[in-house]
Every structure is written in structure tokens, then in C-alpha cells.
Amino acid sequence: MPSVLVVEDDQFVRSALIRHLTEASHTVRSVGTALEALREVAHFRFDVVILDLGLPDLDGAEALKMLRSITDVPVIIATARDDEAEIVRLLNDGADDYLTKPFSVEHLSARMAAVLRRTRGVGGQAPPPRVIQVGGLSIDPLRRQAELDGTALDLTRREFDLLAFLAGRPGVVVPRRELLAEVWQQSYGDDQTIDVHLSWLRRKLGETAARPRYLHTLRGVGVKLEPPESAPAAAPEPPA
């Protein structure tokens, strides 16, 4: 039974969402401000957050950034704003989906189901994915855990998704367009989004773009992950 946090200041809309989501067998909590939302996600575990942008204490776009700093919970933006540039910016800032008011409850339910399938595999019958091993990297997609040389990596949800997707195709150059489609679930976007996440991921892997170990960027082509080259064998000592 998915747990949902509704962040909506309009009492009429809020009540309608609570009623319909509850009827759809969701566990629902609701708040009317951004600060209340931050307190909720800090104390409770949610499967998805439905976030309005027009909140009384803080703009929803800023609330999204603050949420992303403390949690990886999927966030669906639900608002009357329909500016394309703002939609792109919010998706790049960490939103998982975007709904423009007015929308039907059926539409919202379908979007929630899609987000949950992508982020948690809810309802899927596929066998548990195997642990991926690339050099000193060990990635467990089922438990969403990654280790480097036996040390656990503290990754955000998006960083883990990016690492796991590349590790599943070791040595294969993945075009940026494919990364946006498969990792960010977007058909369009800014390359800067990928670059920023690659930079964060490299830092956690102990490497840089200038001195890569696992993550290699091919300018104008894409990104690949492959194990570091083996250290050269030591030269034999000269005979005494």
C-alpha cells in the first residue's frame, strides 16, 4: 500500500486528493506548507510526494530543492503553472513528473503508478536483478546499494540510477540522449544535468574528469563505465 504525502494549500483540492487517494488504497498524509512538508519527510517514509508550487510560505520550486537535499522520495509536481521553461527546470532540479491543473484523479493515479514502477519496481513480476560487479565496484539494484573496494557509497537516488545504468553496460558508450531517456525519464533536457551528476558521482568514486578511473566521457558522443586498467606488472629485478 503506497504511502503518499500531499503538499497542497488549497483546502478543497487537498480534501479531494485525500479522499480519492484513500479510496484507491493509498496511505495519505497531507500538509499545507513547505516547512510542514520538510518536517514530514524527515520523520516519515513516503513512496511519493505530490507537491503544489503555490505554497504560502515558500515557492514550491525552492521546496523541491530543499526536499532533494534530505530525501530521494519521488516527487510529482501538481500545479496550475504550465510554462515549458519552468517545467524543464523543475525536472532538472529533481522532480520525477509534472501535472498541470486541472487534472483527473485517474490521470494522477496513472502518473503515480508509472513513477513508482520506475523508482521501485512496484507491481513488477521480474526476478530480482543480479549484483553487478565492475572492477572494484559492486552494485546491488534490488537493495539499491553500491560499494567501491568494499566501502559503501553514499549515493542519491539519481546518482545510484546513473551508476547502475552505466554499470549494466560496462565498456559501452551510452549517448547522452539515452541517459536522459532511461535515467531521467525525459525526452528532452540539458546536458548540464548529466554533467553535474557525473561530477558528483566522480567525486564519490575518488576520481575526476581529468583523471578518470571508472567514468569516461567521450566528447560529443556519450559516457561509458569500465574498470580501471590493471596496474603494470613490476619489472623483474636484474640478476645479482
* 132-225 has CATH 3.40.50.720 classification: no
122-176 pLDDT, tens digit per residue, is: 444 444 457 889 999 999 887 788 999 999 999 988 899 899 989 988 888 888 8
CB atoms within 10 A of CB 137: 21
pTM over 0.95: no
209-230 pLDDT, tens digit per residue, is: 899 999 999 887 889 999 887 4
Q: State which H helix or E strand residue 44 sits in.
A: none
Each as own residue / partner, the long-range contacts of residues 38-41 (CB below 8 Å, 24 or more positions apart, any chain) are 38/63, 38/66, 38/67, 38/70, 40/5, 41/5, 41/67, 41/70, 41/71, 41/73
42-62 pLDDT, tens digit per residue, is: 888 888 999 998 899 988 888
Predicted local confidence at residue 232, as pLDDT: 37
Residue with cell 510529482: 76
CATH class assigned to 3-120: alpha beta
- Whole-angstrom distance, CA of residue 146 vs CA of residue 140: 6
* Boundaries of every domain in the chain: 3-120, 132-225
- Distance from chain centroid for Cα 214: 21
- In Å, what is the CA distance from 117 to each residue of 13, 104, 123, 161? 26, 20, 7, 14
In this structure, are strands 3-7 and 27-31 parallel, antiparallel, or unpaired? parallel
From 129, 119, 146, 141, select the one nearest 47 (Cα to Cα): 119
